[in-house]
């Protein structure tokens, strides 16, 4: 098959795992039974051996893909010269009578003919264990099984199949009013009659579950649809048993076609978890935020100041990075990596992000116990003890380490927010010491991070190169946008890191990040610019840029990590949690500023 664009996919899931479904009906990426399990289908990483599961017409067609309103249930409509069929794809996801989330390890694909008649084909070609395991295909009365060394799959259907090596092929024709069902179940030896699985009933309950989630997204106005989609997409990236949120459900989708900047994002970053908390606070979802906060605090208590930057989704296993040489990579862009060596890096910004989330939680009326405070206190002390060290920074640079300006900033944030929390809770024993450290960090940044010749805060203390992460300085209250150093930094950042109106993280030709090649424009950074423009009183410019950024979502409202600003194509792992978080937080700020501007005009 020809590779599809990264943005030509929809995402379905059940808060345990997820699957990418292309706009022509092919599941080209899925890991069962967990986000970080070895892939079952990985055609997106190797179109020949990765594995896929497609359902589509046998004749030429046009397709259209959408989510059922306010759900994570995907519908693909195929129109042919002879008729129209729809394929509804979902993973059952709803709560039981005991309020626990169901776990069926199933993918349901429901095919309905609505006009005329359509001849269809189904190809079931699993690539078990990242396509390292040759599946043994067997045909049964009610479908197909695929068995590997450690994985078993059963595809239930009344459609007759034939075996063709490592795949099963089925052909059938549907007339108006007729339907077919395909239920893929993990860890099952033999397919059962499709009716046993209750697909329609599970569809109804899953629909109700997602609609209830969407209704809880208390946001109105023209941005509501995009905000709800981002909110629902984030829930597809939450691992229900622990509450961990993964950065993205994929691995090794390239930041540059043909480049080596390919990473595994199927893990939980403390940074992402903290930012998720902030997004929930912005939306006013205090109860839901409490679940994330409890997870974050539990992890902090367990690991203390030695907390890693990222974790396995159940926090039990090391995440050793390795390269899968047998897979070609998306559009022949190796390497394909699994695991992520960044877990062993020192990234000092984590302390600030955790304390910022805790402070916001308290500010929104949340309760912090003495025991919880002791865990947070250890993070403040860790920032105090470590801020003078070089680290790998927010971008996990594999060159260096360096004295990153942003890392020092976030250590200052950790101490500053720690002071504010302690003052509010009446835990004053460390405040004076922390105040002294905060002053020292601030003075160090202003003396060594600011380059008077460049008229900007630099990426780290030993370079004149710039970094978009310094746009966070005014957002965290380190300096206001009215400060000449900040306004000048914003201007210089746009000049040096801007490309076709969007921002790069940094220039790869100016920073030794331990890698070759380049990368696309990073959407998260461009959302930071929107927030700075709002603080500068440039509402029209901020609105225009925000609307432009929304235009980089795909046909379903899903966002990548990066884009090629010339072609508009998605780059990097997809969809990306950080981008969807930015859509929410930036959108809410934009709406508030717009409403304030209207009130000011009326008065």
Tell me: do 186 and 300 sit in the same domain.
no
Percent of the chain with pLDDT over 70: 99
Tell me: do 248 and 181 sit in the same domain.
no
- Whether the CB-CB separation of 73 and 89 falls below 8 Å is answered with yes
Whether 1 is in a domain gets the answer no
The overall average pLDDT reported for the chain is 93
Taking only the tens place, the pLDDT of each residue in 545-603 is 999 999 999 999 999 999 998 899 999 999 999 999 999 999 999 999 988 887 776 65
Give the relative orientation of helices 349-363 and 286-303 as an angle to the nearest 10 degrees.
140
Tell me: do 124 and 260 sit in the same domain.
no
Indicate which CATH number applies to the domain containing 401: 1.50.10.10
Whether 237 is in a domain gets the answer yes
Q: How far apart are CA 23 and CA 462, in angstroms?
A: 47
pLDDT of res. 1: 60
Whether 520 is in a domain gets the answer yes
Tell me: do 149 and 286 sit in the same domain.
no
pTM: 0.95
Residue listed under structure tokens 């509501």: 224
Percent of the chain with pLDDT over 90: 76
Q: Is the pLDDT of residue 366 over 90?
A: no
Q: Is the pLDDT of residue 126 over 90?
A: yes
Taking only the tens place, the pLDDT of each residue in 330-351 is 999 999 999 998 888 889 999 9
End residue of a domain, out of 171, 199, 227: 199
Tell me: do 177 and 235 sit in the same domain.
no
Tell me: do 111 and 70 sit in the same domain.
yes
Q: How far apart are CA 200 and CA 181, in angstroms?
A: 10
Residue 177: count of CB within 10 angstroms of its CB: 8
Vertex 138: Cα angle to 137 and 142 (nearest 5): 125
Whether 371 is in a domain gets the answer yes
Tell me: do 422 and 529 sit in the same domain.
yes
Tell me: do 337 and 313 sit in the same domain.
yes
What's the length of the chain?
Answer: 603
Top pLDDT among 99 and 326 is at 326
pLDDT of res. 21: 98
Half-sphere exposure at residue 125, Cβ-oriented, CA atoms within 13 angstroms: 22
Give the relative orientation of helices 224-235 and 577-602 as an angle to the nearest 10 degrees.
150
pLDDT of res. 279: 84
Whether 306 is in a domain gets the answer yes
Token pair for residue 465? Answer: 């190169």
Tell me: do 193 and 317 sit in the same domain.
no
Tell me: do 145 and 226 sit in the same domain.
no
Domain that holds residue 105: 9-199
The alpha-helical segments, DSSP class H, found in 216-330 are: 224-235, 270-283, 286-303
Whether 206 is in a domain gets the answer no
* Number of domain units in the chain: 2
pLDDT of res. 48: 95
Question: Would you list the DSSP string of 90-125?
Answer: E----B-TTSPBP---EEEEEEEEEEEEEEEEEEEE
Which of 434, 454, 565 is closest to 502 using CA atoms?
565
Whether 219 is in a domain gets the answer yes
End residue of a domain, out of 199, 222, 256: 199
pLDDT of res. 304: 67
Taking only the tens place, the pLDDT of each residue in 248-295 is 999 999 999 999 999 999 999 888 888 888 888 778 777 777 777 877
Indicate which CATH number applies to the domain containing 30: 2.70.98.50
Tell me: do 562 and 452 sit in the same domain.
yes
Q: Is the pLDDT of residue 316 over 80?
A: no
End residue of a domain, out of 134, 166, 199: 199
Whether 521 is in a domain gets the answer yes
Tell me: do 194 and 246 sit in the same domain.
no
User: What is the mean pLDDT of the segment spanning 519-538?
Assistant: 95
> Which of 32-36, 57-61, 372-376, 389-393 is the least confident region?
372-376
């Amino acid at each position: 098959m020809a590779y599809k664009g990264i943005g030509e996919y929809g995402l379905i899931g059940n808060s345990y795992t997820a699957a990418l479904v292309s706009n022509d009906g092919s599941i080209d990426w899925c890991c069962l039974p967990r986000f970080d399990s070895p892939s079952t289908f990985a055609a997106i990483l190797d179109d020949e051996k990765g594995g896929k599961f497609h359902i589509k017409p046998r004749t030429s067609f046009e397709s259209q893909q959408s989510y059922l309103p306010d759900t994570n249930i995907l519908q693909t409509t195929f129109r042919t010269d002879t008729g129209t069929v729809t394929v509804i794809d979902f993973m059952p996801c709803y709560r039981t009578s005991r309020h626990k989330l169901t776990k069926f390890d199933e993918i349901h694909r429901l095919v309905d003919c609505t006009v005329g008649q359509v001849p269809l084909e189904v190809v079931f070609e699993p690539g078990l264990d990242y396509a390292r395991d040759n599946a043994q295909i067997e045909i049964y009365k009610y479908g197909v099984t695929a068995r590997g060394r450690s994985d078993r799959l059963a595809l239930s259907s009344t459609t007759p199949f034939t075996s063709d090596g490592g795949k099963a092929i089925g052909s059938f024709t549907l007339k108006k009013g007729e339907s077919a069902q395909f239920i893929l179940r993990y860890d099952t030896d033999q397919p059962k009659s499709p009716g046993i699985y209750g697909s329609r009933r599970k569809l109804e309950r899953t629909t109700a579950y997602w609609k209830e989630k969407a209704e809880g997204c208390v946001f109105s106005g023209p941005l509501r649809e995009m905000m709800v989609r981002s909110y629902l997409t984030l829930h597809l990236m939450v691992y229900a048993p622990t509450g961990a949120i993964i950065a993205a459900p994929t691995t090794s989708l390239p930041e540059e076609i043909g480049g080596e900047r390919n990473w595994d994002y199927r893990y939980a970053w403390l940074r992402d978890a903290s930012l998720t908390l902030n997004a929930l606070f912005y939306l006013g979802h205090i109860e839901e935020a409490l679940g994330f906060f409890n997870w974050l605090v539990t992890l902090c208590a367990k690991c203390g100041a030695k907390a890693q930057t990222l974790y396995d989704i159940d926090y039990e296993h090391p995440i050793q990075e390795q390269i899968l040489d047998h897979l070609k990579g998306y559009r022949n862009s190796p390497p394909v990596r699994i695991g992520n060596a960044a877990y062993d890096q020192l990234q000092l910004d984590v302390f600030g992000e955790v304390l910022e989330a805790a402070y916001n939680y308290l500010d929104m009326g949340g309760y912090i116990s003495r025991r919880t405070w002791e865990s947070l206190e250890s993070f403040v002390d860790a920032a105090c003890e470590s801020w003078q060290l070089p680290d790998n920074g927010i971008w996990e640079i594999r060159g260096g380490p360096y004295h990153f300006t942003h890392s020092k900033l976030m250590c200052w944030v950790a101490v500053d927010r720690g002071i504010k929390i302690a003052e509010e809770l009446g835990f004053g024993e460390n405040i004076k010491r922390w105040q002294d450290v905060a002053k020292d960090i601030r003075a160090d940044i202003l003396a060594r991070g600011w380059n008077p010749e460049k008229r900007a805060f630099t990426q780290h203390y030993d370079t004149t190169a710039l970094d978009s992460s310094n746009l966070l300085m005014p957002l965290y209250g380190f300096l206001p946008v009215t400060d000449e150093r900040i306004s000048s930094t914003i201007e210089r950042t746009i000049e040096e890191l801007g490309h076709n109106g969007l921002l790069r993280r940094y220039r790869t030709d100016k920073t030794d990040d331990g890698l070759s090649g380049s990368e696309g424009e990073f959407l998260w950074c461009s959302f930071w610019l929107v927030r700075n423009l709002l603080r500068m009183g440039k509402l029209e410019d901020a609105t225009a840029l925000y609307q432009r950024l929304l235009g980089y979502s795909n046909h379903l409202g899903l966002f990548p990590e990066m884009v090629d600003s010339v072609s508009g194509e998605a780059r990097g792992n997809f969809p990306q949690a950080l981008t969807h978080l930015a859509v929410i937080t930036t959108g809410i700020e934009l709406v508030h500023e717009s409403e304030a501007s209207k009130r000011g005009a009326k008065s």
